[in-house]
């Protein structure tokens, strides 16, 4: 098939490259992007010309204050900014016809397509197809998705939905699950999938806080029991207590759902509580670091500034949020250093460390491990290892 792909940035580029292994793909982005897998073009008109499917993967951002790396729960509730999508749809509509299917990937709140987007597409056909992909694993996620979400106006599984399903079957793993619903249902599947993850992380970290305050508890015993309760608590993913979630989706999705709860007058706001819990949990971890520094007069170091192991991105980083509380809530003397090249004797917090397990900790350092995975099997160095959340 002839594919156009608009928005070939940090996520879209790799998604387009996967498609290009089986189809002819042309990509367009406002920033010049080069790829050995697909042709890049210089305009929306060109990327739309003679294409059967035109994918749109452009941002629906909050302003930078809302990404989760610093406290957000005190800020006014805001929906996503849909101006980029609106502008792209307006441009695409100038250059398409009814033989072409426009496929929107961008994350939006339930009801947004009917309210914001659909009247902008009069010349082409339209379908909603949000992705469950993550930085660092985009290509794997494209080929091995947990599910493919497809939204049509009436939830029909025929016509455009069938065409899109047949397209994905050319490169995704056999047996992949397809979830087809209305635009609104597809919007909800995507955003609530992300916030389910945020809720699980907040819950298991709450158990960790209980372990710290109650005493005589190892959080892993409790979460392990819940993790194995597969009748009602489904799946083991995100059932390891540690640090808060982050990235370009999860914190901001909860913020947007706070806005939705207010707009729909639901009468409660679980998502506000989730964001506050995330911040208080980060503050509790910062307090642990500060108290250890009081005892030893050692500086504070966080290993793993990124929001997840083995990626370079700091969007919504819970490590930065912990560092923020060390510096802002407990005094200027507690300035945090991130990922120093040369090891120093310090209070170390193991963030999303990935391969940092090989770090050469100086003798006399304190290691705060919120994941309870670090050990010193040789017992040679004089290290104080604290398995945060285990108070047995």
Residue that finishes a domain, picked among 185, 216, 251: 185
Say if residue 58 is in the same domain as residue 167. Answer: yes
Residue that finishes a domain, picked among 232, 251, 275: 275
Instruction: State both tokens at 240.
Output: 């390891």
Whole-angstrom distance between the N-terminal and C-terminal Cα of the chain? 60
User: Does residue 138 fall inside a structural domain?
Assistant: yes
Say if residue 37 is in the same domain as residue 134. Answer: yes
User: Does residue 69 fall inside a structural domain?
Assistant: no
Say if residue 157 is in the same domain as residue 173. Answer: yes
CATH number at residue 353: 3.40.50.720
Task: Enumerate residues 6+ apart whose C-beta is below 8 A from 111.
Answer: 184, 187
Task: Give the whole-angstrom CA distance, residue 163 versus residue 154.
Answer: 16
User: Does residue 229 fall inside a structural domain?
Assistant: yes
Please give the pLDDT value at position 285. 96
pLDDT digit string (tens) for the chain, length 392 residues: 999 999 999 899 999 999 999 999 999 999 988 999 999 999 999 999 999 999 999 999 888 888 888 898 888 988 999 999 999 999 999 999 999 999 999 999 999 999 999 999 999 999 999 999 988 999 999 999 999 999 999 998 889 999 999 999 999 999 999 999 999 999 999 999 999 898 889 889 988 998 999 999 999 999 999 999 988 877 888 888 999 988 878 888 888 888 888 888 888 888 888 889 999 999 999 999 999 999 999 999 999 999 888 888 898 899 999 999 999 866 667 899 999 989 999 999 999 886 556 788 999 999 999 999 888 655 557 899 999 999 97
**How many domains does the chain divide into?**
3
Residues 223, 204 contacting (CB under 8 angstroms): yes
Say if residue 144 is in the same domain as residue 26. Answer: yes
Say if residue 157 is in the same domain as residue 46. Answer: yes
User: Does residue 307 fall inside a structural domain?
Assistant: yes
Say if residue 175 is in the same domain as residue 206. Answer: no
Say if residue 328 is in the same domain as residue 379. Answer: yes
User: Does residue 265 fall inside a structural domain?
Assistant: yes
Residue that finishes a domain, picked among 119, 154, 185: 185
User: Does residue 392 fall inside a structural domain?
Assistant: no
Burial of 331 (0-12, 13-18, 19+ CB in 10 A): exposed
Say if residue 84 is in the same domain as residue 118. Answer: yes
Say if residue 104 is in the same domain as residue 154. Answer: yes
CATH number at residue 231: 1.10.1040.10
Say if residue 156 is in the same domain as residue 51. Answer: yes
User: Does residue 71 fall inside a structural domain?
Assistant: no
Instruction: State both tokens at 166.
Output: 């047949």
Task: Give the whole-angstrom CA distance, residue 216 versus residue 223.
Answer: 15
Say if residue 216 is in the same domain as residue 315. Answer: no
User: Does residue 338 fall inside a structural domain?
Assistant: yes
Say if residue 256 is in the same domain as residue 300. Answer: no
Query: Which residues share a beta bridge with 150?
Result: 180
Task: Enumerate residues 6+ apart whose C-beta is below 8 A from 377.
Answer: none
Task: Give the whole-angstrom CA distance, residue 15 versus residue 20.
Answer: 9
Please give the pLDDT value at position 109. 95
Residue 313 backbone phi and psi in degrees, to 5: -85, 140
Q: Give the range of the structural domain holding residue 307, as residue numbers without chain letter.
A: 281-387
């Amino acid at each position: 098939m002839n594919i156009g792909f608009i928005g070939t940035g940090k996520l879209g580029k790799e998604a387009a490259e996967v498609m290009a292994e089986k189809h002819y793909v042309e990509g367009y982005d406002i920033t010049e992007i080069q790829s050995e897998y697909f042709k890049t073009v210089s305009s929306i008109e060109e990327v739309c010309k003679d294409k059967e499917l035109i994918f749109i993967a452009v941002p629906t951002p909050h302003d930078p204050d809302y990404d989760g790396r610093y406290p957000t729960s005190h800020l006014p509730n805001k929906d996503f900014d849909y101006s980029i999508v609106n502008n792209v749809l307006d441009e695409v509509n100038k250059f398409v016809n009814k033989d072409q299917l426009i496929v929107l990937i961008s994350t939006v709140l339930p009801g947004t397509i009917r309210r914001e987007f659909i009247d902008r597409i009069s010349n082409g056909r339209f379908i909603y197809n949000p992705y469950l992909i993550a930085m660092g694993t985009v290509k794997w996620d494209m080929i091995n998705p947990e599910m493919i979400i497809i939204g049509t106006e009436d939830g029909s599984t025929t016509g455009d939905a069938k065409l899109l399903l047949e397209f994905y079957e050319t490169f995704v793993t056999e047996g992949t699950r397809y979830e087809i619903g209305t635009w609104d249902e597809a919007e909800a599947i995507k955003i609530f999938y992300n916030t389910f993850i945020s809720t699980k992380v907040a819950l298991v970290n709450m158990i960790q806080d209980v372990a710290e305050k109650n005493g005589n508890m190892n959080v892993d015993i409790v979460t392990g029991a819940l993790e194995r309760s597969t009748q009602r608590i489904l799946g083991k993913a995100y059932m390891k207590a540690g640090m808060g979630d982050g990235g370009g989706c999860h914190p901001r999705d909860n913020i947007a759902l706070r806005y939705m709860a207010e707009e729909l007058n639901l009468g409660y706001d679980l998502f506000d509580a989730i964001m506050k819990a995330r911040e208080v949990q980060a503050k509790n971890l910062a307090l642990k670091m500060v108290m250890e520094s009081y005892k030893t007069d050692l500086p504070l170091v966080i290993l793993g500034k990124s929001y997840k192991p083995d990626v370079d991105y700091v969007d919504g980083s819970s490590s930065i949020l912990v560092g923020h509380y060390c510096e802002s809530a407990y005094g200027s003397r507690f300035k945090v250093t991130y990922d120093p090249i040369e090891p120093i004797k310090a209070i170390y917090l193991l963030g999303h460390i990935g391969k940092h397990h090989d770090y050469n900790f100086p003798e006399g350092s304190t290691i705060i491990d919120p994941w309870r995975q670090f050990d010193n099997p040789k017992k040679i160095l004089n290290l104080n290892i604290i398995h945060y959340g285990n108070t047995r």
